[in-house]
Amino acid sequence: PLGFFDPFGLLSGDATEERFERLRYVEIKHGRICMLAFLGQITTRAGIHLPGSINYAGDSFDSYPNGVAAVFGENHIPTAGIVQIISTIGILECAFMREVPGFAEFPGDFRNGYIDFGWDDFDEETKLQKRAIELNNGRAAMMGILALM
């Protein structure tokens, strides 16, 4: 494990516990998003696409390019599609992917007292190990998705 990782010195001036937990929360959240993005990239680059049409004109999902070209390229996704994607992300951010005060066991804990897939059954050492694995995999995915883009 990488342990404490602050290459840009973001905590050098204001190293309070609250600031550290906020930065850790953001790092975990971005790591989770990048893990999904990396999986999506390698899936579509392998030629696996959703069936059907992406719009009423009959364009198929595989008719659009991968990566940044899907947004900024010559044959990019229509503006209405990008607005739908950004709106969905906004709804997820505001309604679901947030920490409710008093429920979070650690930064990035979105269970909020509702979801438990056996996390509470683990001992503290196993929980710490699994959180470190998620953190390091998220860091690797952030670098990986940047490399693919």
Burial class (CB in 10 A: 0-12, 13-18, 19+), 21: middle
- Is 93 known to sit in a ligand binding site? yes
- Is 27 known to sit in a ligand binding site? yes
CA diameter of the chain:
55
Q: Are the beta carbons of 34 and 144 closer than 8 angstroms?
A: yes
- Is 105 known to sit in a ligand binding site? no
- Is 32 known to sit in a ligand binding site? yes
- Is 74 known to sit in a ligand binding site? no
- Is 139 known to sit in a ligand binding site? yes
- Is 45 known to sit in a ligand binding site? no
Determine the Cα–Cα distance for residues 120 and 126; give it in Å rounded to an integer. 11
Q: Which two tokens stand for residue 6?
A: 């602050």
Quick check: helix, strand or coil at residue 125? Answer: helix
- Residues at the annotated binding site for chlorophyll b? 32, 93
- Residues at the annotated binding site for chlorophyll a? 27, 30, 134, 137, 139
- Residues at the annotated binding site? 27, 30, 32, 93, 134, 137, 139
